[in-house]
Every structure is written in C-alpha cells, then in structure tokens.
Amino acid sequence: MRDLSVSQPDLQQGTVPKAKARHNKNKTLYKMRSLLLGRQGNDGWLMKTIIYVLLISTGFIYLYPLLFMVSQSFKSLDDLLDPTVAWIPRSFYWKNYVQAWNVLDYVNTLGSTLLNSVLPAVAQTISCAIVGYGFAKYKFPGKSILFGLMLITFIVPKQVIMIPMFLLFKQYGMLETPLPFIIPGLFAQGLRSALFILIYYQFFRTIPVALEEAAQIDGAGALKTFFRIILPISVPAVVVVFLFSMVWHWNETYLASLYLGNAMTTLPLELKTFNDSFKAMYTGSSTITDVNESIRMAGTLLIVLPLLVLYLFAQKRFTQVVDKTGLTGE
C-alpha cells in the first residue's frame, strides 16, 4: 500500500498554490472578458463602442445630405460667397423659403401631389392585402403559376408598358387626372404591386390558423374574418406597404409627367423646372438677380419635408405595433 504521508506535504506545498494561482488567473481573465465583451459576449463596453461607432458612422452618411441641405437653405448670398462660413450661417435668412414657397405655389401643388400619392397608396395598400391574403391562405388551381406570373411583373420595366397604358388611359379619358394611378392601385396593379403582395404574403403566412378557425366557429365569413381579424393584427405590414407606396408615388415623375400633362403638377415635377419658374417670377427684381444654391436647397427641403414627417410618424407607429404583435405561425 502506498504511503500517503509523503504526498500530503507535496499537496499542501505545491498543488494548492498552483490551483489557487490558476483560479486567480481564470478569475482575472473572466473579469477582463466580462468588461470588454460582457457576460453574454455582446454587452461589454468594447462591443458597445464598436456598435455605436458603426451606427454613428452609418447615420452620418445618411444624415449628411440632409444637414447640408438645411445649412445651405438658411444662408444669404453673402454667406454663400464667404469661404469662412461653412455650416452655421451668420444669420438665418428666411427669405429663401419665402421665395421657394412662392415659386412652387406650395399649397396648391402640395394638394395635387397628395391627391396623386395618398389615394393611390391607400387603394394599393388595401387591394394588395386582399391578393396577398388569397395567395397565403387559400388553395386553388393554378395558384403557383399565377403567383409566379405576379412576381415576374416586378421585373418588367415600366418603359415597356408605358405606351400601351398611355393609349388605354387616353381611350377611357383618364389622362390629366389622378385616375391612371388610382385605378391600377384599386386592382393591385399599381407601382411595384408585386413587391407589396409578396410582403403581405409572407406576413399572412405567420398568422396562426387558429385565429381564422375561431372566427369561422363564431360564424364569421371570409370577408369579415379578413377585415375584422386579419387586418387589425397586420398593422405592421399595412404601415410598411402604405409608406413605401406613397413614397414611390410621391417621387414618380416619369409617369406623372406623361399622364398628368399640363393639367396637374406635383412637387417633384416643379423641382425639375424650379430654375425656370424662379426666373419667370422674379425677372426684373432689383434685389434678386438669379436663383442661387440656398433658394434651391430651400425648395428641395420643402418638397421632402412631408416625407420626413411621414417617416418619423411611421417609424414610431411601426415600432409600437411590432411590440404589441407577437404572433407565430403554426
């Protein structure tokens, strides 16, 4: 039998100190790792610093044009010509906005722009929701073929169907009115409708079937189930589709100039002729000789301002509805 009396001092004098030193070393490394990376590997100050640096850098890339636009729009002609004035003007020159407002005929033009963007966006949001729900929840012959054909329409350039659509709208007397945008939106055929149908399709597939079955047990039909049960819990998809649809209709200048002609105009269309309109309005003025960069920046900011307000509102609303909606598919 081995004599343990010899190994006991060795255990006390050699092994224990080494184990304690190893434990202290591991404890120190754990503290350093927790400090740098956090206990979960992604909540330490090092990871937070990297994330904030990336967010600030990316945010600055997107915010720089807007900040430059705001800074330039408040500069007077003297500040523009002074190389020492970089970002902050000596005084806020509000006359740039007054002139841009008059050139754009802002109130009337904003009304026609909203008419050609909000109404088609509402129609497209509802119609695409119905089509997306049909593809997501119902089975019918040729469903895969129709779905594939619908997706193909997304890659077809609008220039290909521009002339046939123009002749069709001319035949039905819809030109120089918002109808060329509203009517296709009512039948899920507006701008980028295939993408919106796909968004709804993917979202509706995550809705539990038990909700529809419970509605059917209570005696609700297909339409009542859709409008009373499905749509209220699909607000995130509705907000996203409406936001994108309105922005794309708002920024559409190619088809708008073709369909509206000279009868109506929109703010983006007025921006294309801003210089000529300014010269025609202020020709012969003793204090204004030509349009400068500050006036153009003021006009541009007035045009994008409604979209900025819409984005701020939609972002807050979208975050709220996502927090309140926690559905998983079955």
Confidence of residue 325 (pLDDT cuts 50, 70, 90): very low
**pLDDT at res. 125:** 93
Are 209 and 330 in contact by the 8 Å Cβ rule? The answer is: yes
The structural domain count of the chain equals: 1
Q: What pLDDT was estimated at residue 324? A: 46
More confident residue, 269 or 190: 269
Higher pLDDT, 286 or 281: 281
Least confidently predicted of 34-38, 145-149, 199-203: 34-38
Average pLDDT of 61-79?
Answer: 85
Q: Does the residue 168 lie in any domain?
A: yes
Whole-prediction pTM value?
0.77
Residue 277: the pLDDT is 83
Whether residue 116 lies inside any domain: the answer is: yes
Cα separation of 306 and 116, whole Å?
A: 14
Q: Is 186 domain-assigned?
A: yes
234 token code pair: 């699909």
> What pLDDT was estimated at residue 14?
54
HSE-CB at 330 with a 13 A cutoff on CA atoms is 8
Q: From CA 311, how far away is CA 304, in angstroms rounded?
A: 11
* CATH label of the domain that carries residue 253: 1.10.3720.10
* pLDDT given for residue 117 in this prediction: 92
Q: Which amino acid is at 103?
A: V
- For residues 252 and 178, what is the distance between their CA atoms, to the nearest angstrom? 13
176 assigned to some structural domain: yes
Query: Considering the domain boundaries, does residue 10 fall inside one?
Result: no
Other CB atoms within 10 Å distance of the CB of residue 5 = 7
In-domain check, residue 9: no
Range of the domain at 213: 106-272
H-assigned helices in 116-218: 118-137, 143-152, 158-171, 179-186, 193-204, 209-217
**Banded pLDDT at 329 (limits 50, 70, 90):** very low
Confidence at residue 55, expressed as pLDDT on a 0 to 100 scale: 85
State which amino acid sits at residue 122: V
Token pair, residue 160, equals 């290909």
Going by pLDDT thresholds of 50, 70 and 90, the confidence category of residue 6 is very low
Checking if the pLDDT of 328 tops 70, the result is no
Average pLDDT value over all residues in the chain: 80
Give the residue, 302 or 154, on which the prediction is more confident.
Answer: 302
Q: Is the pLDDT of residue 128 over 90?
A: yes
In three-state form (DSSP H/G/I as H, E/B as E, the rest C), the secondary structure along 236-255 is HHHHHHHHHHHHHHHHCCHH
Give mean pLDDT, residues 53-70.
86
Tens digits of residue pLDDT in 284-322: 554 555 667 888 888 899 999 998 888 887 776 666 545
Q: What does the pLDDT average to over 85-114? A: 87
Residue 330: pLDDT band (50, 70, 90) is: very low
In a domain, residue 127? The reply is yes
Lowest mean pLDDT among 33-47, 50-64, 78-92: 33-47
The C-alpha atoms of residue 227 and residue 134 are separated, in whole angstroms, by 13
Residue 223 maps to a domain: yes
Average pLDDT over residues 275-282: 80
pLDDT tens sequence across 239-278: 888 988 999 999 888 888 889 888 888 999 888 888 888 8
